[in-house]
Amino acid sequence: MREFIVEADGGSRGNPGPAGYGSVVLDAATGETLVETYEYLGVVTNNVAEYRGLLAGLRAAHDLDPSATVHVRMDSKLVVEQMSGRWKIKHPDMKPLALEAGRVFPPGRVTYEWIPREQNKHADRLANEAMDSGASASSVRKLSPAKAEADVRAATAVAGSGWGPADMGAPATFVLLRHGETPLTPQKRFSGSGGTDPALSDVGREQAERAAEALADRGTIQHILASPLTRTRQTAAAVAERLGLEVTVEDGLIETDFGAWEGLTFGEVRERYPDDLNTWLSDPEAEPTGGGESFAATATRIAATRDKLVAAYAGRTVLLVTHVTPIKTFVRLALGAPPESLFRMELSAASLSAVAYYADGNASVRLLNDTSHLRP
């Protein structure tokens, strides 16, 4: 019985945004590239594009030999786990695609393997070629490996305009996840970068898992960055395991240093340092007692981090796992709101917020303090 390897990938610049997929069918015995297929999809999500790539690859393999067995290799852990039957499929856009993919070959003739992104470069290149070209029709090619790359470049050069992104391009979208609870959280104690660096509590770990499940269902995250503190790294790790992504530590996302107030409740600070607290509440340049970080200094740091990340992740959707003050500051700066607005935002543990940043410098707040995934 003949055996094929299908490598597939999909991407979306904006999530949802201009999207495409790429699929490759290889001869398992020789490694020869037998078929390449790629298509521009218009505006869909990243995971829908990945499912479309899987479906196209399976169909191409079926056209070659409907009696063959197929081993699918993808860097989407979500698709691999769902098609292997280990994870449930909840998203309404993905259910019909998964059912259709499962019907291409009889049960038991297709196996799935997750691979790192760097091992899926062939399909990833085709998906990006499809998105770059904006082609409205698919391309399926039976070819030799030597011709593959040149043919893709030629197809891109003559592709029609299709439905492309807006002139300013797809935004860099930051999904902002506050870490789960620590033992200090329900006590409402100051817990910044100058304190004891507490780990997640049992409740916090459960919240992190629920956030991970919600983000997997949404299917939009392409990269994960986290503050260096323990609670954010633990929360990010739960999401990364669920999505099959790696976590990059970003020092600029760290929480404000609350100086001598670390570990104290608001009431305790008011009792011990009333003058310092009143000044801090009215002046963004004021530091907490003992030389912590002012809100103005935090804003300068977050603005610099924002600019760096927007440039690095243009057109991508990035999960930033961070803290109360940085998230509120991202939102405040996006809105052009005054510093005192920080005291007028509610931001729960393990909540989700989102801000999109466009090439013309504009920003759009798309979500704030979503905790729906934490409800029973």
Query: Which residues are known to be catalytic?
Result: 179, 255
Paired tokens of 155? 């197809």
Contact in structure between 175 and 145 (CB atoms under 8 Å):
no
Rounded distance between C-alpha atoms, residue 364 and residue 352, angstroms: 15
Identify which of 251, 262, 255, 233 has the alpha carbon closest to the alpha carbon of residue 325: 255
Q: Return d(Cα 90, Cα 228) in angstroms, integer.
A: 32
CB of 264 closer than 8 Å to CB of 337: no
Does residue 164 contact residue 18 with C-beta atoms inside 8 Å? yes
Rounded CA Rg of the chain: 24
Going by their DSSP bridges, the two strands 3-12 and 17-27 should be labelled as antiparallel
Nearest to 78 by CA among 248, 224, 245: 245
Kindly state the DSSP code that residue 129 receives in the 8-state scheme: H
Instruction: Name the burial class of residue 29, with classes exposed (0-12), middle (13-18) and buried (19+) by CB atoms within 10 angstroms of its CB.
Output: exposed
CA angle at 269 for the pair 268 and 274, rounded to the nearest 5° = 120
Could you tell me if 204 and 180 are in contact, meaning their C-beta atoms sit under 8 angstroms apart? yes
For 366, residues 6+ apart whose C-beta sits below 8 A from its C-beta are 173, 354, 355, 356
